[in-house]
């Protein structure tokens, strides 16, 4: 058995303003406060305001918030004239050196003096960190929010539940209901998307296949204008604790070809994990899907690679080089596990007909997420005899933990009518722009009154064999933070 030791460097970072670095030396405990014990619940009067970011627009409006109230409940926060519904919270006990903002070099010790340990509650909305509440005592605290530091005193311990107008529930067609959290986004707010494109392998003159390559595009629109497209020649993607990157790596030694991935937070402190992989044959891996916390890939193990893959994996980003994928029961309930079995057996029965196959056993981890007609779907794989395999559709919808947003605000049929050679399509959560993928280009359209404009506002040339494996959207204030982080990447 051969042993090759791969040292993977994984970075620790947190995205600019509003997101905070967390490492094991700083945190004594992390837990989500239960719904009946949120220690910052209540009404907090704004005593003073410090504009940490000099480039904040509408400074006078922000400063006018002094003596106003920030309302915090177990699942919502009303701050700076904006309501965030369905928020969640994480409690951390950190050192005084804890960085509240890397961009502005703001540490806890700059805010609270003479304390070695301070409680901080991270406020999370739609898988993004929108702010951090720094607790001084039961009635005094500080809230860092998108370049602004609010000095707060508690006035009431109980806050009134914030109500959201849900009259905007609509249907795009008879089958699909638009979820309220998306249609409540402001149509005129800034919007941006990180798109990861994968270029497939090519057969060279020597009869070998090239490695897959990946790149990331940042497309944004604000002030009513589409902005210049930014690009990185590797995978960039957002997570709840910052912006990450993935690089595909290859180790060739003594005829063994081993492919693996480095996943790291951008520009953070480095720590090293030693992972030992034992293998006797080559391993090839292709990514088909990326989200905040999970990744799907196709895997081939052997010495006769023909650009076909034996099995699929869906695994946590934090364990990206695991040899074992998650089982369907690890992330779904018993009902979905039963559906997995039904679809597996139906696909195998249809395949068999007059054929025979011996000793088949259901593999509950052999699945991936992939694109089908503008939607992410679960695709299963059955290993057959003679190294063949069979793909089949699994009738299970992706969970929120797998996929944050996957809604087409315009029907696939309408997209297809406008672009007969359509390969894929995406719409922004605020209903402002649509991205259409053709064979050799991406078209960005503006949407008005749920209708695509006839002429694209932007055309991006791509290669014919490129596929989109990730589309992560930012709205409102997040757009400039994601764009700033993207621009600062090497």
**Residue 21 clears pLDDT 50, i.e. is over it:** no
CA 100 to chain CA centroid, Å, is: 22
Question: Residue 460 forms beta bridges with which residues?
Answer: 442
d(C-alpha 67, C-alpha 77), whole Å: 17
Span 149-201, pLDDT tens digits: 999 999 876 554 434 333 322 333 333 433 433 443 578 889 999 999 999 99
**pLDDT at residue 354 in the model:** 64
Phi/psi-derived region of residue 347, left when phi > 0, alpha when psi is between -120 and 50, beta in every other case:
alpha
**Residue 482 clears pLDDT 80, i.e. is over it:** yes
Asked if residue 328 is part of any domain, the answer here is no
**Residue 106 clears pLDDT 80, i.e. is over it:** yes
**pLDDT at residue 175 in the model:** 38
CA distances to 57, 69, 99, 111, 146 from 63, rounded to whole Å, are 11, 13, 24, 19, 14
Asked if residue 462 is part of any domain, the answer here is no
**Residue 330 clears pLDDT 90, i.e. is over it:** yes
d(C-alpha 195, C-alpha 204), whole Å: 28
31-56 average pLDDT score: 75
**Residue 31 clears pLDDT 50, i.e. is over it:** no
d(C-alpha 77, C-alpha 318), whole Å: 30
Asked if residue 106 is part of any domain, the answer here is yes
Asked if residue 388 is part of any domain, the answer here is no
Asked if residue 431 is part of any domain, the answer here is no
Listed ranges 22-26, 109-113, 284-288; the one with the highest mean pLDDT? 284-288
CA distances to 177, 233, 382, 425 from 207, rounded to whole Å, are 49, 26, 27, 34
21-29 average pLDDT score: 32
The residue range of the domain holding 139 is: 12-156
Mean of the per-residue pLDDT values of the chain: 81
**Residue 35 clears pLDDT 70, i.e. is over it:** no
What pLDDT band is residue 278 in, cutting at 50, 70 and 90?
A: low
* Residue 395 CB contacts under 8 Å (≥ 6 apart), including other chains: 339, 342, 343
More confident residue, 102 or 343: 343
Per-residue tokens: 155: 């006035």
H helix or E strand, kind and range, residue 121? strand 117-125
Q: Is 460 exposed, middle or buried (0-12, 13-18, 19+ CB in 10 A)?
A: middle
467-471 average pLDDT score: 97
Per-residue tokens: 391: 């793909």
**pLDDT at residue 29 in the model:** 32
Span 387-439, pLDDT tens digits: 678 899 999 999 888 988 888 888 898 999 999 999 999 999 889 999 999 99
More confident residue, 241 or 415: 415
**pLDDT at residue 61 in the model:** 81
**Residue 232 clears pLDDT 90, i.e. is over it:** yes
Closest CA to 363 of 377, 349, 345, 387: 345
**pLDDT at residue 161 in the model:** 43
pTM of the model: 0.67
Asked if residue 91 is part of any domain, the answer here is yes
Asked if residue 296 is part of any domain, the answer here is no
Closest CA to 123 of 166, 158, 66, 80: 80
134 in Cβ contact with 122 (< 8 Å): no
Question: Residue 370 forms beta bridges with which residues?
Answer: 377
**Residue 5 clears pLDDT 50, i.e. is over it:** no
Instruction: Domain count for the chain, please give it.
Output: 1
Closest CA to 472 of 315, 294, 199, 290: 290
d(C-alpha 431, C-alpha 373), whole Å: 19
64-89 average pLDDT score: 87
d(C-alpha 188, C-alpha 56), whole Å: 18
6-30 average pLDDT score: 33
**Residue 108 clears pLDDT 80, i.e. is over it:** yes
Q: What percent of the chain has pLDDT over 70?
A: 81
**Residue 272 clears pLDDT 50, i.e. is over it:** no
291 in Cβ contact with 470 (< 8 Å): yes
Asked if residue 39 is part of any domain, the answer here is yes
């Amino acid at each position: 058995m051969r042993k090759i030791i791969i040292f993977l460097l994984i970075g620790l970072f947190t995205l600019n303003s509003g997101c905070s670095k967390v490492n094991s030396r700083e945190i004594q405990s992390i837990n989500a406060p239960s719904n009946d014990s949120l220690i910052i619940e209540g009404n907090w009067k704004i005593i003073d305001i410090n504009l940490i970011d000099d480039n904040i627009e509408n400074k006078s409006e922000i400063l006018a918030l002094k003596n106003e109230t920030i309302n915090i409940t177990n699942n919502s926060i009303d701050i700076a004239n904006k309501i965030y519904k369905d928020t969640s919270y994480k409690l951390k006990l950190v050192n005084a050196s804890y960085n509240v903002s890397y961009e502005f070099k703001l540490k806890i010790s700059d805010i609270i003096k003479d304390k070695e340990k301070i409680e901080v509650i991270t406020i999370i909305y739609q898988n993004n960190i929108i702010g951090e509440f720094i607790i001084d005592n039961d009635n005094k605290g500080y809230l860092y929010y998108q370049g602004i530091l609010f000095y707060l005193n508690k006035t009431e311990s109980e806050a009134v539940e914030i109500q959201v107008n849900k009259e905007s529930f609509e249907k795009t067609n008879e089958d699909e209901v638009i979820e309220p959290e998306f249609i409540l986004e402001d149509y005129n707010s800034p919007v941006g998307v990180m798109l990861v494109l994968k270029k497939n392998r090519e057969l060279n003159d020597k009869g070998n296949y090239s490695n897959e390559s990946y790149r990331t595009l940042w497309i944004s629109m604000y002030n009513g204008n589409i902005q210049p497209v930014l690009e990185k020649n590797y995978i960039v993607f957002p997570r709840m604790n910052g912006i990450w990157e993935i690089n595909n790596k290859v180790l060739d030694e003594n005829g063994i070809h081993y492919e693996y991935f480095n996943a790291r937070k951008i520009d953070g402190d480095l720590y090293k994990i030693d992972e030992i992989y034992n293998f006797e044959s080559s391993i090839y891996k292709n990514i088909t899907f990326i989200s905040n916390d999970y990744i799907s890939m196709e895997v081939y193990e052997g010495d006769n690679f023909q650009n076909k893959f034996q099995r699929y994996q869906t695994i946590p980003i934090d364990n990206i080089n695991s040899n074992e994928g998650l089982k369907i029961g690890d992330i779904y309930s018993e009902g979905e596990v039963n559906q997995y079995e039904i679809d597996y057996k139906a696909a195998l029965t249809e395949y068999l007909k007059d054929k025979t196959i011996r000793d088949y056993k259901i593999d509950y981890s052999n699945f991936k997420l992939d694109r089908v007609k503008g939607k992410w779907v679960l695709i299963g794989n059955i290993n057959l005899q003679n190294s063949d395999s069979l793909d089949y559709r699994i009738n299970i919808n992706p969970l929120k933990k797998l996929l944050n947003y996957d809604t087409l605000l315009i029907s696939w049929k309408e997209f297809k009518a406008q672009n007969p050679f359509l390969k894929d399509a995406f719409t922004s959560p605020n209903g402002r722009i649509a991205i259409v993928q053709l064979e050799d280009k991406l078209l960005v359209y503006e949407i008005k009154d749920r209708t695509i404009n006839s002429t694209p506002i932007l055309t991006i040339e791509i290669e014919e064999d490129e596929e989109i494996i990730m589309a992560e959207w930012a709205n409102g204030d997040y757009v400039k933070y994601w764009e700033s982080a993207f621009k600062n990447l090497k």
